[in-house]
Amino acid sequence: MKFISEFRDPELVEKYITEIRRTVTQPWSIMEVCGGQTHSLVKNGLLQLLPPEIRMIHGPGCPVCVTPLHLIDKAVHLAIDKGVILCSFGDMLRVPGSRMSLLEAKAKGADVRILYSPLEAVKIAAENPAREVVFFAVGFETTAPANALSVIHAHRAGLKNYSILASHVLVPPAIAAVMEDEDVRIQAFLAAGHVCAIMGIDEYYPLVEKYHVPVVVTGFEPVDLLQGILMTVKQLEAGEQRLENQYSRVVRPEGNAEARNIIGEVFEISDREWRGIGTIPGSGYEVREAYAAYDSNRKFDMPLEKAPENALCIAGQVLKGIKKPHECSQFGKACTPQNPLGAPMVSSEGACAAYYHFSQS
Amino acid sequence: MNAPKLRMQLQCPMPQLDFDVITLGHGSGGLLTHKLLDSGVFDLLKNDLLNEKHDGAVFELPAGTRTAFSTDSYVVTPVFFPGGNIGELAVNGTVNDLAMCGAAARYLSLSFIIEEGLSMKEFWDILVSVKYAAEKAGVQIVTGDTKVVERGKGDKIFINTSGIGTVHPQAAISQKRVKTGDKILISGPMATHGVAIMSVREGLEFQTSLESDTCNLNHTVLALLDQFGEQIHLLRDPTRGGVATTLNEIARDTQLGIELWQKDMPVREEVSSACELLGLDPLYVANEGVFIAFVAADSANEVLEALRGLEYGSEAALIGEVREDHPRKVILTSSIGGRRVVNMLAGEQLPRIC
């Protein structure tokens, strides 16, 4: 595969590993923010190839993991009690709500559909004018443009039966929240490359300045990750704190202006609850007043009590990198991918699920 | 579509009928059922045993041979997919299950559960595919059944086939014979069938020239058994759940460890690109025309060489071995040299967001 296989080249991987080993002289804790990066580190077995001085801390960048419990309950409520066609990305389906997961709702007869694009949901709405169609709009800045575009398309087509249950979270406020936590000891960040492809890199300069940490915008392939780690380690060893862009083949410093315009048209920044972490100010998107008709939260009356999280789950500490998944007393015992207590055990991008698979070796 | 398949479709034109869709009456067992069967089904699949038109088939198997028996149900959606349809899948699937026992399929039963409203044209196309696949595999359809359910109670058509086969005299295939040091071969590239099906699933359609790899593996397997007999310890076709699931089952049941080498695992370029886009791991994607063989270490290279010269085996590869150092686990050495556990899937493989 052109543009991918080059970044999985075993010789290059070895070269970077050797270079990292040569550069590192003391222990460093580096957080990869994005769950996609965690997944790639584990899937390719990179964690064992790194020298023991490098401690990779897995960040909160798994959208499925940080979607609040009550939003999943809302999605289940819409699918089961309101009889809507509930469309979602695939890995949201298995996450347990307080009542049930969407997968269980589907088994109980709810019309739950797995889609790859929210624009498909708009098509479904056009084909089913007598039914309400809801898209569970989960994700970071990366999925926001397509989700916003679906609202614009529905609006242009005059569809009255389409809305989104928005659960968008933003990376820079999450990095700030992690650094503000007194228990957290993170010395550098790999920022999520694809988020920056949309948003650009300017948002990260203030973080570098305020918290005195190196931030390297990094891609997802093995060579990307190792190059990002090497750039980070070089800065750490030299006592520098700069913003660097490893993923320059994809990320332009200014990002994608058109995608950002579409986001701005439909969404505005709001406070947002992160599952396991709590509310982070200005860390999410919600649908603007002008598009209120396409906001499931406003459209449907959902008299739901906020259910408590499972008390045994320490997902918050895992998502902030304070504890490793296997340091949880429930890990691999009461909590497994087949029977998850918390969301990070569900998604393949979740740190607990990744460790569950990895630690058995 | 390949030439013999097309030729058979041309040679078997749909008969003139006074109905163009299957109705509930066609499954009643009454006049309409007979009209459907007599209109061409019996003619199309005819053989001496089927021509008896009895409730079951009566036959003898060669004296002294071991017999294998298998059954499977087919519910694929969509019913027609690139490279095939549910009809040939239903024949090949059971023929291959028997082949994995080291058996040559002899006789199949064929049962339809049809959703009211299926067009006669589609039903006919499925039947022609059944005929084609059965002839290609050298198996006879000797008994069957047709039921029709109300609209909305099925998904166009479900098929069950059961099969009886005679086991190759030299075959000694059993999980019990898998041992440390055995080499693991795969007969062709992984994940092709699953991705071909995904490419036409509603809501996911994407452009690809990929076709399902559904085919009959019995001739290939029997030729290998002719040559290598007991050297072949275990055969499995990694259908649902893909190679990862099948190997995990074997590791769990044998209490042995399985080592896989990603760099040696054949995956077509289009398949790996599609998996990349869809967020799927080819190791967990379904196959139809591929089998895995556990063979004695000292004959592994010869078996591989022979397999590459046989039907559907040209892209065969040696992908791993059995170890005792990590019992019950499948461990993959990634293309870049990292190692990870390959687990059983927790549920259906769900695409990732990013």
Q: pLDDT tens for residues B271-303?
A: 998 888 887 889 999 999 999 999 999 999 999
**Identity of the residue in A64, A115, A194 whose CB atom sits nearest the CB atom of B203:** A115
Q: Would you state the pLDDT for residue A361?
A: 44
On chain B, the residues whose CB falls within 8 A of the CB of A150 are none
Q: pLDDT for B5-19, tens place per residue?
A: 888 877 888 887 778
Residue of chain B with shortest Cα separation from A347: B352
CATH number for the domain harbouring residue A187: 3.40.50.11750
Query: What torsion, rounded to 10 degrees, do the Cα atoms A103, A105, A106, A111 define?
Result: -130
Number of domains in chain A: 3
Domain holding A322, by residue range, is: 315-359
A1 → closest Cβ in B273, B336, B340? B273
- Residue B354 confidence (pLDDT): 45
pLDDT at B30: 84
Which helix (H) or strand (E) segment holds residue B319: the answer is: strand B317-323
- A133, A270: one domain: yes
Residue range B3-167, CATH number? 3.30.1330.10
A100 in the same domain as A74: yes
Q: Is the peptide bond before B78 cis (omega within 30 degrees of 0)?
A: yes
Whether residue B329 and residue A115 make contact (CB cut-off 8 A), yes or no, is no
Residues of A in contact with B347 (CB under 8 A): 94, 103, 338
CA distance A144 to chain B (A): 12
Let me know whether A132 and A34 are in one domain. Answer: no
Chain A CA closest to residue B326:
A361
Q: Does B152 touch chain A (CB under 8 A)?
A: no
Whether residue A342 lies inside any domain: the answer is: yes
Name the residue among A10, A47, A336 with its Cβ closest to that of B336. Answer: A10
Q: End-to-end alpha-carbon separation of chain A, Å?
A: 29
Cβ-Cβ contacts under 8 Å, A120 against chain B: 203
Q: Is residue A307 part of a domain?
A: no
CA–CA gap between residue A338 and residue A332 (Å, rounded):
10
Query: Model confidence over B140-187: pLDDT tens digits?
Result: 999 999 999 999 999 999 999 999 999 999 999 999 999 999 999 999
Chain B contacts in chain A segment 158-197 (CB below 8 A): 194
Hey, what CATH topology would domain B175-342 get?
Phosphoribosyl-aminoimidazole Synthetase; Chain A, domain 2 (3.90.650)
On whether residue A144 sits in a domain, the answer given is yes
In the numeric block, which tokens belong to residue A31? 């957080």
The model's confidence at residue B43, banded by pLDDT at 50, 70 and 90, is confident
Residue intervals of chain B classified under CATH 3.90.650.10 are 175-342
Whether residue A271 is found in the same domain as residue A343:
no
Q: Identify whether residues A81 and A182 lie together within a single domain.
A: no
Q: Where are the alpha helices (DSSP H) in chain A?
A: 10-23, 35-43, 46-49, 63-66, 69-80, 102-107, 118-127, 144-156, 171-180, 193-199, 205-211, 222-238, 257-266, 296-299, 315-319, 351-359
Average per-residue pLDDT for chain B: 91
Q: What is the pLDDT of residue A248?
A: 94
Same domain flag for A194 and A76:
no
Binary contact (A1, B338; C-beta < 8 A): no
Q: Which of residues 115-154 of A touch B (CB under 8 A)?
A: 115-116, 120, 124, 138-140, 142-143
Q: Please list the residue range(s) of chain B that carry CATH number 3.30.1330.10.
A: 3-167
Q: What distance in Å separates the CA atoms of residue A213 and residue A206, rounded to the nearest whole number? A: 10
Task: Show which of residues 241-270 on chain B sit within 8 Å of chain A, judged by CB atoms.
Answer: 263, 269
Q: Do B352 and A91 touch (CB under 8 A)?
A: yes
Higher pLDDT, B340 or B219: B219
Q: For B199-255, how does the pLDDT look when each residue is reduced to its tens digit (9 = 90+)?
A: 887 666 677 788 999 999 999 999 999 999 999 999 999 998 999 999 999 999 999
Residues 305-344, chain B, touching A (beta carbon < 8 A): 326, 329, 331-341, 343
pLDDT of residue A168: 93
Task: Provide the residue type at A207 as one letter.
Answer: L
B334: chain A residues, CB-CB within 8 Å: 43-45
What pLDDT does residue B101 have?
98
* Mutation to test the A interface, candidates B202, B275, B335, B336, most A Cβ within 10 Å: B336
Query: A333-340 long-range CB contacts below 8 Å, 24 or more apart?
Result: A336/B346, A337/B346, A338/B346, A338/B347, A340/A94, A340/A95, A340/A96
Considering the domain boundaries, does residue A129 fall inside one? yes
**For B297-312, what is the mean pLDDT?**
97
Do A70 and A152 lie in one domain? The reply is yes
Among the partner residues B269, B341, B347, nearest to A94 by beta-carbon distance: B347
User: Which residue numbers in chain A have pLDDT < 50?
Assistant: 361
The answer on A261 and A158 residing in a single domain is yes
What would the two tokens of residue B51 be? 């021509």
Task: Tell me, yes or no, whether A20 and A33 share the same domain.
Answer: yes
Mention every residue, 6+ apart, whose C-beta is less than 8 A from residue A291.
A151, A155, A266
For B326-338, write each residue's pLDDT tens digit: 999 999 999 888 8
